[in-house]
């Protein structure tokens, strides 16, 4: 007789009983031919009503994640898990997988609650489901926070129904049954697989089922390191992205874009000539440019390059970086005066953060098949419902006639909160009357795609007698576009927000709900002013925090210096949160803070608190000339971050392997933001048109030594991960650079004003030709 | 239009397409071999890295007409067959370390890693930090550190 696990069966269903336990929930078995278990997507634990801390910032009481979670709460719609005859469980996640690992962590939740091996859980991405209202938005690192409970409840309902069916099958009672590895066992050792029970466990009508979730002490999947469920597909080339899809007759399509940012086409001068080019099937003018459909993307490139057209200038024609900087400076509101006396000193710092591109590897792309009475769209979309609404409106179709499939995307970094490619593909398909597979060229994606807005951050602090009496931070930014998705949520939630927040604009709301100063710095004020709406903007692996925290932590280092304290000790004595203190101590210890280092090299330390979690980074940087000037062909070198020690406390870490991966990415983003990556506006357009122009961290700049520490936590709820690694990393690199060089930078990235190590690519034609020397460059 | 013939993942293929169309589009758009990805189209990001006669190259910069009938093109799809296994040791190393995040650049990263290790082996040495830092393939998710670990582990099994 095998020793069976002692997992108790679920509590019997008692209709009408009000849940009293925070692990007890009501789910459903849906009527159908196989077992379909469901939970309300709005099913989330109520916020704990804790004691009100002293003078907390709004983000500490109620943050952006609370708003997104609350917005999802009342939508009485279902997340379903189907048990299939082959013993697998499948479900469609109403979120977008873009590399952040949510299909894996969500599958782990199902595996845990169902007692099913992880490889038997099949996760797909749900099509746009308009009935979900606000509950199909992927952003702000909110997926796991908002879906943790409903996914588990649905899985627990499935397990309960399987147990009930097994009791009949095995001629016993539910109380004598246990589950393990996708099978139900009785006390005699008889067993029956979930697949064999799927039909019997089905219900002809929908019925409510009360379940108790597995207590944290019994977890065997949640909290254990697991590899990605799509890893094998990724390493074999089988993982499919939008441009890999084979949709009937959806030929490659590209757009010839205007020579200035957001310019518009007036007319094409050589339509017949372009139409006659090899492989070309269609040439149409749409509002964003001239679209070309051909047999191959190579022929699209040739055709785009041969277009001659008249263009109307975009709104920043002739403008360059300095014009936008001047505009921001003019828009800055005065900071309240603080005393500067023999007893109390006031220190002012100001930083400029240039435009940065959130272009992922997988460019804006979409497949669109628009017919007279219906349309079908495939794309990587983080706000598919809004995309569906907007596309339907533009096509003049009822929303229900536009089917929108969410495709796994090759990165997002904020880009896929928008649906620029999907909307454009729909317009082109309509204009051509044919299906299209639209792909933005890298140069399109970098120049005309979305960017993190340029901004300035001014920090003013007053200190006296070893204390910081006041800390003000005024952030002034080119407008961040929240018009899609987040905007609707803010409007709808306005009355639910804390007093004084609900009547702010979208951007101020987000700012107020995400930013806080985590130190006891007396009177603290943080404000946001926005000034310029002419750019295509969005978040970039976080919205404000990397810049705000970088500026703030640089000021902290300067205050420490003036008060004669070491940066670590100073932070330790002013931090308000015990979790922040714990991660700070952890990196200081593990990273050997304060060790002796050669001149021109230094450590930097910083913390960040957001997404229900807290993180700390300790970096070491080498700014010596032999390192800064190391030769790399057509690559930026500069100072090198040689070592990073990073600690993250997200509360309950569902998958430590995935969490560590997100921190690795965040660290490399932070390094790029501090040292190398920015867009340059020059003559009305962004200069960068290639990965050898836009310097995201490369293998030669990544730190050789990285140690990510996932903090142990007794929390029963998870925090966010996708963006959580960036802010502390950026701030720590900036602090380390300032300490190594003795100079506090005034703008980021620090190389923004260096001469280009490349020849800028022309804007006419907008796409560079592919080289032909591939066989000469083998290795 | 000319008929282009070459060996793709062990099988001779013929395609009716003009000489100057870059191989990347022939593979992806005409032959449906989508492992090699478009990331830039100008041989910078290296997401399309594949092998020609065992050496790394970039199909986005190679006119299909430059290929001889006997040229053997290996994409990520054909990599395991080069060692007669279900997976190449480098792919296994990638799985062991859970390297991929979004996965878009990973076929190119793996093909570049294999070629980099082979190049070192041809010189009778093991792969170095400098070799790895010479790899230009971009990973915008930033999983570089796991790539470095996987290359070393994969090299030991090659």
- Summarised one tens digit per residue, pLDDT across range A202-222 is 988 878 888 999 999 999 999
Please name the member of A233, A699, A769 whose beta carbon is closest to the beta carbon of B132.
A699
CB contact under 8 A, B35 and A101: no
Chain B: give the shortest CA distance to residue A648, in Å. Answer: 17
Chain A: give the shortest CA distance to residue B69, in Å. Answer: 15
The pLDDT value recorded for residue A504 is 64
CB contact under 8 A, B145 and A664: yes
Q: Which of A306, A312, A256, A322 is nearest to A285 (CA)?
A: A256
Q: Is the pLDDT of residue A551 over 70?
A: yes
Which residues in chain B land under pLDDT 50? none
Distance between CA atoms of residues B138 and B136, nearest Å? 6
The pLDDT value recorded for residue A48 is 34
β A402-406/A375-379 pair status: parallel
Contacts of A243 in chain B (CB under 8 A): 28, 34, 38
Distance between CA atoms of residues A562 and A559, nearest Å? 5
CA A508 to centroid of chain Cα atoms: 20
The pLDDT value recorded for residue A58 is 60
Give the dihedral sign, CA B18/B22/B27/B32: negative
Write out the two tokens for A656. Answer: 């430590």
Please name the member of A252, A362, A658 whose beta carbon is closest to the beta carbon of B29.
A252
Which of B145, B150, B154 should we substitute to test contact with A (largest number of A Cβ atoms within 10 Å)?
B145
Q: Is the pLDDT of residue A501 over 50?
A: yes
Instruction: Evaluate whether ipTM surpasses 0.90.
Output: yes
Distance between CA atoms of residues A697 and A667, nearest Å? 10
Between A4 and A343, the more confident residue is A343
Q: Is the pLDDT of residue A54 over 50?
A: no
Between A395 and A336, the more confident residue is A395
The pLDDT value recorded for residue A442 is 97
The pLDDT value recorded for residue A20 is 42
**What is the gyration radius of the CA atoms in chain B, in angstroms?**
15
Write out the two tokens for B50. Answer: 């594949």
The DSSP element (H or E) to which A27 belongs, if any, is strand A24-30
H-assigned helices in A339-383: none
Are the C-beta atoms of A109 and A187 separated by less than 8 Å?
no
pLDDT band at residue A45 using 50, 70 and 90 as cut-offs? very low
Q: Which of A656, A694, A661, A691 is nearest to A678 (CA)?
A: A694
The pLDDT value recorded for residue A13 is 37
CB contact under 8 A, B21 and A669: no
CB contact under 8 A, B30 and A295: yes
Q: Is the pLDDT of residue A51 over 70?
A: no
Chain B: give the shortest CA distance to residue A181, in Å. Answer: 23
For residue A138, give the DSSP letter.
-
What are the φ and ψ backbone dihedral angles of B47, each rounded to 5 degrees? -65, -15
pLDDT band at residue A768 using 50, 70 and 90 as cut-offs? very high
Tell me the count of A-B CB pairs closer than 8 A. Answer: 235
Q: Which of A2, A11, A3 is nearest to A215 (CA)?
A: A11
Distance between CA atoms of residues B24 and B8, nearest Å? 12
The pLDDT value recorded for residue A428 is 98
Are the C-beta atoms of A290 and A764 separated by less than 8 Å?
no
- First vs last C-alpha separation in chain A: 59
The pLDDT value recorded for residue A8 is 42
Contacts of A669 in chain B (CB under 8 A): 142
Between A9 and A546, the more confident residue is A546
Q: Is the pLDDT of residue A53 over 50?
A: no
Contacts of B57 in chain A (CB under 8 A): 774-775, 777-778
Chain A: give the shortest CA distance to residue B135, in Å. Answer: 7
pLDDT band at residue A4 using 50, 70 and 90 as cut-offs? very low
For residue A165, give the DSSP letter.
H
H-assigned helices in A672-719: none
pLDDT band at residue A71 using 50, 70 and 90 as cut-offs? low
Contacts of A772 in chain B (CB under 8 A): 20, 22, 61-63, 66
pLDDT band at residue A503 using 50, 70 and 90 as cut-offs? low
Chain B: give the shortest CA distance to residue A209, in Å. Answer: 37
Residue of chain A with shortest Cα separation from B45:
A691
Please name the member of A241, A697, A769 whose beta carbon is closest to the beta carbon of B142.
A697
- Identify the residue whose tokens are 């795609």: A449
Write out the two tokens for A380. Answer: 């990587």
Residue of chain A with shortest Cα separation from B58:
A774
Span A369-411, pLDDT tens digits: 999 999 999 999 998 988 998 899 999 999 899 999 999 999 9
Q: Is the pLDDT of residue A412 over 50?
A: yes
Distance between CA atoms of residues B78 and B35, nearest Å? 10
Contacts of B106 in chain A (CB under 8 A): 234-235
The pLDDT value recorded for residue A746 is 98
For residue A381, give the DSSP letter.
-
The pLDDT value recorded for residue A42 is 63
Report the pLDDT averaged over residues A224-249: 97
CB contact under 8 A, A768 and B75: no
- Identify the residue whose tokens are 């460019």: A363
What's the pTM?
0.93
From residue B78, alpha-carbon distances to A35, A85, A774 in Å are 40, 33, 20
Write out the two tokens for A543. Answer: 């919205």
Q: What percent of chain A has pLDDT over 70?
A: 90
Distance between CA atoms of residues A609 and A575, nearest Å? 11
The DSSP element (H or E) to which A617 belongs, if any, is strand A613-622
pLDDT band at residue A10 using 50, 70 and 90 as cut-offs? very low
- Identify the residue whose tokens are 């970088």: A550
Span B135-145, pLDDT tens digits: 999 999 999 99
**Mean per-residue pLDDT of chain A:** 90
Q: Which of A472, A473, A460 is nearest to A340 (CA)?
A: A460
CB contact under 8 A, B98 and A657: yes
Lowest mean pLDDT across A19-23, A138-142, A644-648, B104-108 = A19-23
The pLDDT value recorded for residue A647 is 98
Chain A: give the shortest CA distance to residue B72, in Å. Answer: 12
CB contact under 8 A, A234 and B100: yes
Report the pLDDT averaged over residues A645-656: 96
């Amino acid at each position: 007789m095998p020793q069976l696990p002692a997992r108790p069966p679920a509590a019997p269903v008692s209709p009408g009983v009000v849940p009293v336990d925070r692990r007890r929930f009501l789910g459903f078995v849906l009527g159908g031919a196989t077992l379909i278990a469901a939970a309300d997507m709005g099913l989330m634990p109520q916020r704990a009503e804790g004691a009100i801390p002293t003078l907390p910032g709004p983000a500490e009481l109620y943050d952006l994640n609370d708003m997104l979670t609350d917005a999802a709460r009342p939508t009485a719609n279902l997340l379903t898990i189907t048990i299939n005859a082959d013993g697998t469980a499948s479900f469609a996640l109403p979120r977008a997988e873009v590399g952040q690992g949510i299909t894996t962590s969500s599958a782990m939740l199902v595996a845990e609650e169902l007692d099913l091996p992880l490889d038997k859980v099949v996760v797909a991405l749900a099509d746009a489901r308009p009935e979900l209202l606000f509950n199909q938005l992927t952003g702000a690192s909110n997926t796991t926070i908002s879906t943790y409970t409903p996914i588990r409840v649905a899985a627990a309902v499935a397990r309960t129904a399987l147990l009930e069916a097994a009791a009949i099958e095995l001629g016993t009672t539910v109380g004598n049954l246990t589950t393990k590895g996708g099978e139900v066992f009785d006390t005699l050792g008889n067993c029956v697989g979930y697949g064999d029970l799927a039909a019997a466990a089905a219900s002809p009508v929908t019925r409510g089922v009360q379940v108790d979730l597995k207590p944290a002490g019994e977890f065997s999947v949640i909290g254990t390191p697991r590899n990605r469920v799509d890893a094998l597909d990724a390493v074999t080339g089988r993982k499919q992205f939008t441009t890999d899809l084979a949709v009937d007759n959806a030929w490659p399509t590209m757009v010839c874009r205007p020579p200035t940012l957001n310019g518009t086409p007036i007319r094409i001068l050589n339509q017949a000539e372009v139409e006659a080019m090899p492989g070309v099937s269609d040439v149409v003018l749409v509002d964003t440019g001239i679209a070309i459909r051909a047999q191959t993307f190579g022929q699209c490139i040739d055709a785009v390059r041969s277009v001659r057209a008249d263009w109307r200038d975009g709104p920043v024609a002739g403008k360059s970086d300095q014009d936008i900087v001047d505009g921001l400076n003019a828009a800055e509101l005065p900071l309240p005066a603080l005393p500067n006396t023999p007893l109390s000193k006031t220190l002012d710092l100001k930083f400029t953060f240039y435009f940065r591109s959130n272009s992922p590897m997988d460019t804006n792309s979409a497949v669109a098949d628009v017919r007279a009475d219906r349309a079908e769209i495939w794309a990587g979309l983080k706000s598919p419902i809004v995309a569906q609404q907007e596309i339907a409106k533009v096509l003049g179709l009822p929303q229900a006639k536009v089917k929108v499939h969410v495709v796994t995307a090759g990165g997002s970094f904020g880009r896929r909160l928008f649906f620029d490619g999907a909307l454009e593909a729909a317009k082109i398909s309509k204009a051509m009357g044919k299906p299209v597979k639209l792909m933005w060229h890298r140069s399109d994606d970098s120049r005309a795609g979305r960017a993190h807005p340029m901004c300035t951050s001014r920090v003013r602090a007053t200190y006296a007698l070893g204390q910081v009496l006041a800390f003000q931070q005024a952030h002034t930014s080119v407008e961040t576009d929240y018009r899609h998705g987040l905007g609707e949520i803010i409007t709808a939630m306005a009355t639910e927000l804390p007093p004084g927040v609900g009547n702010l604009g979208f951007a101020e709301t987000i700012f107020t709900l995400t930013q806080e100063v985590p130190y006891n710095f007396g009177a603290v004020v943080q404000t946001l002013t926005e000034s310029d709406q002419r750019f295509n903007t969005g978040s970039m692996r976080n919205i404000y925090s990397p810049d705000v925290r970088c500026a703030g932590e640089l000021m902290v280092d300067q205050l420490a210096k003036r008060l004669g304290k070491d940066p670590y000790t100073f932070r330790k004595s002013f931090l308000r949160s015990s979790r922040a203190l714990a991660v700070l101590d952890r990196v200081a210890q593990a990273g050997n803070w304060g060790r002796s280092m050669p001149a021109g090299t230094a450590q930097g330390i910083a913390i960040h608190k957001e997404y229900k979690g807290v993180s700390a980074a300790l970096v070491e940087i080498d700014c010596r000339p032999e390192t800064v000037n190391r030769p790399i062909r057509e690559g930026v070198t500069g100072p090198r971050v040689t070592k990073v020690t990073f600690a993250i406390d997200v509360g309950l870490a569902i998958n430590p392997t995935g969490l560590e991966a997100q921190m690795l990415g965040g660290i490399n983003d932070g390094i790029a933001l501090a040292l190398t990556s920015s867009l340059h506006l020059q003559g009305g357009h962004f200069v960068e048109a290639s990965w050898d122009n836009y310097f995201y961290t490369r293998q030669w700049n990544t730190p050789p030594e990285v140690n990510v520490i996932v903090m142990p936590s007794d929390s029963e709820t998870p925090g966010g991960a996708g963006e959580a690694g960036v802010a502390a990393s950026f701030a720590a690199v900036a602090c380390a650079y300032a300490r190594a060089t003795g100079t506090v930078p005034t703008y980021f990235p620090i190389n923004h004003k260096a001469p280009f190590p490349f020849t800028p690519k022309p804007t006419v034609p907008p796409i560079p030709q592919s080289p032909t020397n591939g066989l000469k460059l083998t290795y | 239009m000319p008929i282009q013939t070459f060996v793709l993942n062990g099988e001779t293929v013929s395609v009716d397409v003009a000489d100057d169309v870059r191989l990347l589009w022939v593979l992806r758009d005409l032959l449906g071999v989508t492992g090699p990805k478009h990331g830039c189209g100008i041989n910078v990001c290296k997401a399309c890295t594949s092998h020609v006669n065992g050496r790394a190259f970039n199909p986005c910069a190679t006119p299909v007409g430059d290929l001889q009938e006997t040229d053997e093109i290996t994409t990520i799809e054909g990599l395991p067959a080069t060692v007669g296994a279900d997976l190449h040791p480098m792919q296994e190393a990638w799985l062991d370390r859970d390297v991929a995040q979004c996965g878009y650049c990973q076929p190119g990263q793996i093909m570049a890693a294999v070629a980099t290790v082979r190049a070192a082996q041809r010189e009778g040495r093991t792969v170095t930090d400098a070799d790895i830092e010479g790899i230009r393939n971009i990973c915008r998710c930033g999983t570089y550190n796991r790539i470095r670990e996987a290359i070393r582990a994969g090299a030991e099994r090659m």
